[in-house]
Amino acid sequence: MAMPGSPRRRTSLTALLPTAGLLPLVLWQIVFFVVPVALIVGLSVWRRENYRLIPDFTFNNYAAILARPAIWRALLLSAETAAFVTVVCAVLAYPVAYFIAKKAGRWRGLLLVAVIAPFWVSIVMRVAAWRLLLGERGVINQMIMALGLTDEPLSFLLYSPVSTAIGLIYAYLPLYVLPLYAAISNIHDSWIDAAMDLNASPARTFFEVILPLSAPGLVVGAVFCFVFGLGEFVTPALLGGGKQLMFSQVIQDEFQRRLDWPSGAAMAVVLLVLVFASLALSMKWIRRASGEAA
Amino acid sequence: MTELSPNAVELRAVSKVYGASTAVREVSMEIPRGAFVTILGPSGCGKSTLLRMISGFVTPSSGDVLIDGVSVVGAAPYERDTAMVFQDYALFPHRTVAQNLAFGLRMRKVAKAEIERRVEAMLELVNLSGFGDRRVSQMSGGQAQRVALGRALIVRPAVLLLDEPLGALDLKLRRQMQAELKTIHRDLGLTFVAVTHDQDEALTLSDRIAVMNGGALEQFDTPENLYRRPATRFVADFVGNANLLEARLGADGRVEAQGLPLALFLTPAQRGGRAAGAAVALVVRPETIAVGAAAPESHDGRVEARVEEIMFSGANQQIVGRLPDGRRLTAHQSAALPAPERGANAVFSWPSQSVWLVDA
């Protein structure tokens, strides 16, 4: 039956070709995602004696880090900051995305490029620029003082959770605009017209039709912002000031200053689990929403 | 107070200008309450703009729009007692069929129990009982069309507007929906204003048809008058098929049809007050023409033409003849009648009573 060059064999070969095209992607994922994560997970169950790593299978590292109040404070700060940033980004991104999707007309392409443009500059440079704006003698404080709104510069603007939040909102806004733009462009004008035609005021039309149909974009954008915000390192490191640490900073501290790699790895795994949990929740929601629509 | 005007909709010299182009030009029209009016015209003739001026999505550049005798220019769509069946149905995808139907009633703050009752009744009216909990994406084209119709009907609007309502359906379904639409219109007694480019649909559905061309209203009349007594050459050509023969009015009711040996005598009604010497076009409908052996002696319009094409379509045959000067003449006659021979000369004849004149 399976003679060389028989039609059957040839079909299975042609069927394999597209799969072979996936190979680079699979390799990339294995080398740069699966292996490092596996290493971290493995490391998190080892133990440390006299600054030496000893292979083991223990959950003591987890018990130890979860018993440290500082860990919980950092985790809470990260979650709070990520949630706050997510909500503010949603509120700021919505009108922008709506305008680009529905009102911009021929300017749409240009505006989308403008939304993406910040990504062409390194995040470190962009965040550093915020220092010039937020510092005690920064542009914003000097302006406020020149206007006579306050006698002393506002010190909480830089090196505080506030400045971290400002930096993150700035960094993540495009990430929220894009999925929202995609969702809002999928809303037919005739649906909006139909609501108005059936005596829904513009406000009613927004809450009855436009907002519910933007939900996929809102969820995807929220996942981006929250997940990235939860694990963000660069922005809090540059703007946060180091007095109140976010979770990613605590992990870094554990690896580099305390040299406790197994504990650091356990923290990283905790963060990973939280991220996967929020991803799974949103995927479930999206699948249910689109499943119902299909 | 609304009973003062017998017209559900009245347009007074409405125009819509977009920059350099005029979409609608000085259209005046009175749509009686309870009528089924169709606005008919080729694409780009301004018919959709006209409909959107009634619904409030387009504000006229000049002129007035009255609904139930009250001017609504300046009133937003959600302030008007109109409901529209959109061309793409525009059903809310995140709502069930029943929720789509209930939408307009909820916006009009109708009591919950009343909404439920009316939704149930509407599902029955549009033949969708039991489909209330379905997602609209699960509906077929015909079903979606009924949901769209029901969603607009349920608010009992002063005017129901239909934008190419059956355009997306296949021919068979369209015929069926036409019949249903007509029944629903008769049963509910609401005013329907539809827009279509399909003249068959317009002729079948409407009490009155407004034919538009290039933004202007050409004729607003009953389907029969439109067909038998078209006001303009455009109407004669657009509504149904017509042979248009250039001619000049002679004295005492005679017609001289540019080199054709025609001996037609027209009544004053047919002449329509035109003076002798007026340039006109004779409108001769294909079904009034008999060919060859089927041409009776009593027909006073007679020309000879070479039979160029015979197309058989079941009950009928379409015969295309070419006159000596190159003009073509099309006749429709029953397939039961003897067919002439292709390539041979045959007499094409019609009675002068069936002829109508339009300005050339």
Domain with residue A153: its CATH number is: 1.10.3720.10
Task: With respect to residue A166, please indicate whether it lies within any of the assigned structural domains.
Answer: yes
The average pLDDT across B194-213 equals 93
Given a cut of 60, whether residue A293 has pLDDT beyond it is no
A293–B76: do the CB atoms touch at under 8 Å? no
Given a cut of 90, whether residue A209 has pLDDT beyond it is yes
Least confident of A5-14, A144-153, B262-271: A5-14
What's B7-233's CATH class? alpha beta
The average pLDDT across A32-36 equals 93
pLDDT at A128: 84
Rounded to a whole number of angstroms, the distance from the CA of B191 to the nearest CA of chain A is 16
A188–B90: do the CB atoms touch at under 8 Å? yes
State phi, psi for B334 to the nearest 5 degrees. -60, 140
Contacts of residue B90 in chain A, CB cutoff 8 Å? 188, 190-191, 193-194
Question: Which fold is adopted by the domain B241-359?
Answer: OB fold (Dihydrolipoamide Acetyltransferase, E2P) (2.40.50)
Site from A192, A199, A210 to mutate, B interface, most B CB atoms within 10 angstroms = A199
Specify the higher pLDDT residue, A174 or A49: A174
Res. B2 pLDDT band, cuts 50 70 90? very low
What CA–CA distance (Å, rounded) separates B147 from A104? 32
Site from B52, B72, B78 to mutate, A interface, most A CB atoms within 10 angstroms = B78
CB pairs under 8 A between A and B: 68
Contacts of residue A199 in chain B, CB cutoff 8 Å? 78-79, 104, 107-108, 155
Rounded to a whole number of angstroms, the distance from the CA of B233 to the nearest CA of chain A is 36
Given a cut of 90, whether residue A191 has pLDDT beyond it is yes
Contacts of residue B91 in chain A, CB cutoff 8 Å? 194
Output Rg (C-alpha) for chain B, integer angstroms: 24
Q: Which of A197, A205, A292 sits opposite B83 (nearest CB)?
A: A197
The average pLDDT across A222-240 equals 90
Res. A286 pLDDT band, cuts 50 70 90? confident
- Residues in chain B, total: 360
Q: Which of B94, B103, B108 sits opposite A213 (nearest CB)?
A: B94
Given a cut of 70, whether residue B322 has pLDDT beyond it is yes
pLDDT at A2: 44
Range of the structural domain that residue A174 is part of = 67-293
For residues B167 and B196, is the Cβ–Cβ distance under 8 A? yes
Mean pLDDT of chain B: 91
B104–A199: do the CB atoms touch at under 8 Å? yes
Q: What is the DSSP string of B211-261?
A: EEETTEEEEEE-HHHHHHS-SSHHHHHHSS--EEEEEEE-GGGBEEBTTB-
In the sheet that B290-291 helps form, which strands lie side by side, from edge to edge?
Answer: B290-291, B345-350, B301-313, B316-322, B328-334
> Based on the structure, what is the number of domains in chain A?
1
- Distances in whole angstroms, Cα of residue A148 to Cα of each of A135, A142, A157, A164: 18, 10, 17, 26
Residue A100 neighbours by CB under 8 Å, 6+ apart:
A108, A111, A112, A115, A177, A181
Structure tokens at B89: 């149905």
pLDDT at A158: 83
pLDDT at B116: 95
Nearest Cα residue in chain B from A216: B94
Rounded to a whole number of angstroms, the distance from the CA of A277 to the nearest CA of chain B is 27
Res. A5 pLDDT band, cuts 50 70 90? very low
Quote the percentage of chain A above a pLDDT of 90: 55
pLDDT (tens digit per residue) in B80-118:
999 999 999 999 999 999 999 999 999 999 999 999 999
pLDDT (tens digit per residue) in A120-139:
888 888 888 888 888 888 88
The average pLDDT across B11-29 equals 94
pLDDT at A291: 55
Alpha carbon B241 to chain centroid, angstroms = 14
For residues B82 and B159, is the Cβ–Cβ distance under 8 A? yes
Q: Name the pairing type of β-strands B36-40 and B208-213.
A: parallel
Task: With respect to residue A83, please indicate whether it lies within any of the assigned structural domains.
Answer: yes
pLDDT at A213: 94
Q: Is the pTM of this model over 0.80?
A: yes
Same fold across B7-233 and B241-359: no
Given a cut of 60, whether residue A279 has pLDDT beyond it is yes
pLDDT (tens digit per residue) in B153-169:
999 999 999 999 888 78
pLDDT (tens digit per residue) in B161-191:
999 988 878 888 888 889 999 999 999 999 9
- Distances in whole angstroms, Cα of residue A83 to Cα of each of A219, B65, B169, B226, B276: 13, 51, 48, 67, 87
Identify which of A182-191, B271-280, B332-341 has the greatest average pLDDT: A182-191
B103–A195: do the CB atoms touch at under 8 Å? yes
Identify which of A134-143, A242-251, B54-63, B344-353 has the greatest average pLDDT: B54-63
Specify the higher pLDDT residue, B276 or A100: A100
Contacts of residue B78 in chain A, CB cutoff 8 Å? 196-202, 205
Q: Where are the domains of chain B?
A: 7-233, 241-359
Q: How many CB atoms lie within 10 A of CB B311?
A: 11
Given a cut of 90, whether residue A145 has pLDDT beyond it is no
pLDDT at B188: 92
Task: With respect to residue A39, please indicate whether it lies within any of the assigned structural domains.
Answer: no
Interface ipTM above 0.90: no
Given a cut of 90, whether residue A142 has pLDDT beyond it is no
Task: With respect to residue A38, please indicate whether it lies within any of the assigned structural domains.
Answer: no
Q: Which of B88, B104, B135 sits opposite A198 (nearest CB)?
A: B104
Res. A152 pLDDT band, cuts 50 70 90? confident
B92–A196: do the CB atoms touch at under 8 Å? no
Contacts of residue A294 in chain B, CB cutoff 8 Å? 137
pLDDT at A290: 67
